Amino acid sequence: MTNNKRPLILISNDDGVNAKGIRELVGFLRPLADLVVMAPDAPRSGFACSITCHEPVSYKLVRQEPGLTVYQCSGTPTDCVKLAFYSVLEREPDLVVGGINHGDNSSVNVHYSGTMGVVIEGCLRGFPSIGFSLCDHELDADFTPLKDYVQRITQKVLDEGLPPLTCLNVNFPKASAFQGIKVCQQAKGLWEKEWIPRQEAEHVYDMAGEFRDTDPEEERNDHWALRHGYVAITPVTVDATDYEMIRRMKTWF
Amino acid sequence: MTNNKRPLILISNDDGVNAKGIRELVGFLRPLADLVVMAPDAPRSGFACSITCHEPVSYKLVRQEPGLTVYQCSGTPTDCVKLAFYSVLEREPDLVVGGINHGDNSSVNVHYSGTMGVVIEGCLRGFPSIGFSLCDHELDADFTPLKDYVQRITQKVLDEGLPPLTCLNVNFPKASAFQGIKVCQQAKGLWEKEWIPRQEAEHVYDMAGEFRDTDPEEERNDHWALRHGYVAITPVTVDATDYEMIRRMKTWF
């Protein structure tokens, strides 16, 4: 039975429905809202906003109890959100949440992240959307220190909403306690040493990489905040237009 | 033999190395520059900025002649760019180009497009980058009317460069001639009716969709420009930060 007085949150991720991060997130958010989870049936890290154009996508119910329904889906994180809206949500959610990701989605990783794919999709559909990520890739990462912050940030967005086209990318440093919250800019920089050649075969590579901050001392950046023990909230716009460049191009053609 | 006096352009796409669109692009750009192509070995539409984190990625040489080298790659469009930089480019390119895509990448499609995945990756690495797309999904789409525009826009960017973090998303209407160029904003709107249930199985869906413009009469939008026969150039920023929201959030925590 759905209680229409309680908020409804749609949850997905890119680490898969069985990842510790999404299970912890469900535990943190159950006191705040009814939850519907539609998450990939296997890990799909680095899937960005990808969609499945040329193959069928399916889902199935894996758990149902008062205030919580869980589905797993064969598609990408973005497919999960699209299919949840199309097929399983009985009313519009108050919020779409991605995570909690096992690993850092700050800085340029916003472009590669399947967790942020969930969030961008929620935002493009017109719903307040938040991504939560912990800078710890381990399967058994400790999410406990995040609980109060996840609840506080989620409640704030449930109360205040978010402007159209704006979503939040929230990253937590790996730590047992945090210095507080910083609202940040996306750090500038780039991945280097991105591939490791396989020894046994020519022209075969595994992805790796080291991130180089091009402006590491800039205190407004999410990387700086994370390195200094803060929870970094980077507001993200899904309007990719470069308005300044429109002005510059007036004389081009 | 590489002639270091000529510009060098790295090309990729998401329709695959054998698609007509990339072959036509190579023909259009050969008079302007030396070309290195690293493109997916099969169609990978809708792959966005996805990367291959958990499997090996490989490439192989498929064609080499003066001024043109072509590789095919097992990875995503973004992997192609990353691997080209790591493994095959002998010098830094002057430009990274994605396309010519078979299909519309204007408006919110910038988030789902593998062609724009190529462009965003080039831009994140600090190189001027352009995506070209034709609003025609057909395998044998006619790219001939695009030739002069593709050459003119490419030459302009080779001459002028682009600011850091800015790239171009160029879309052509399906037409035998164009009204001219409009520099545009990303149209606002959303996909609806996104799934078609399979008859033979429960909870199995194929992706479809109809796009609904939420502001169809807005002449600054790329959708408006395309509907009215113009070549739409939407400048795109890879800095996803919502700076206005940073200001609004000052009192939040």
What's the ipTM?
Answer: 0.95
**Given this model, what pLDDT does residue B176 score?**
95
Q: Report the alpha-carbon distance of residue B108 to residue A239 in Å, rounded.
A: 8
Q: How far is B16 from chain A (nearest CA, A)?
A: 14
Top residue of A38, A71, A112 to mutate, by most chain B CBs within 10 Å, is A112
pLDDT at res. B4: 57
For B39-106, give the DSSP string: EESS--TT-TT----SS-EEEEEEEEETTEEEEEESS-HHHHHHHIIIII-SS--SEEEEEEEES---
pLDDT at A4: 57
**Closest CB to B86 among A48, A194, A204:** A194
Distance CA B215, CA A239 (A): 14
Instruction: Provide the 8-state DSSP code for A144.
Output: G
Of A120, A190, A238, the CB nearest to B125: A190
**Overall size of chain A counted in residues:** 253
* Structural contact between residues B49 and B127, judged by C-beta atoms closer than 8 angstroms: no
- Polymer length of chain B: 253
Confidence (pLDDT) at B141: 98
pTM score, whole prediction: 0.96
Distance from CA of A245 to the nearest CA of B (A): 6
Beta-ladder partners of A205: A197, B57
Chain B residues close to A83, C-beta within 8 Å: 195, 205
Q: Which residues of A touch B60 (CB under 8 A)?
A: 203
Q: What's the confidence (pLDDT) of residue B1? A: 46
CA B238 to centroid of chain Cα atoms: 14
Query: CB B207 to CB A49 under 8 A?
Result: no
Contact residues, chain A, for B183 at CB < 8 Å: 246, 249-250, 252-253
pLDDT along chain B (253 residues), means of 10: 77 98 98 98 97 96 97 98 97 98 97 98 98 97 98 97 97 97 96 94 94 90 97 98 96 88
Query: Under an 8 A CB cutoff, do B52 and A242 touch?
Result: no
Most A CBs within 10 Å, among B76, B85, B111, to test the A interface: B111
Q: What is the CA radius of gyration of chain B?
A: 19
Token pair 């990625």 is found at B57
Sheet harboring B68-73: ordered strands across? A195-197, A204-207, B57-65, B68-73, B34-40, B8-12, B95-102, B129-134, B166-172, B231-237, B181-183
Tell me the average confidence (pLDDT) per consecutive run of 10 residues in chain A, 253 residues long. Answer: 76 98 98 98 97 96 97 98 97 98 97 98 98 97 98 97 97 97 95 94 94 89 97 98 96 88
B195, two tokens: 């799934």
CA B206 to chain centre: 24
Helix/strand/coil (H, E, C) string of B200-244? CCCCEEEECCEEEECCCCCCCEHHHHHHCCCEEEEEEECCCECHH
> What pLDDT is stored for residue B76 in this prediction?
98
Strand B57-65 vs strand B95-102: parallel, antiparallel, or unpaired? Answer: unpaired
Residues of B with Cβ-Cβ distance to A53 under 8 angstroms: 45-46, 207
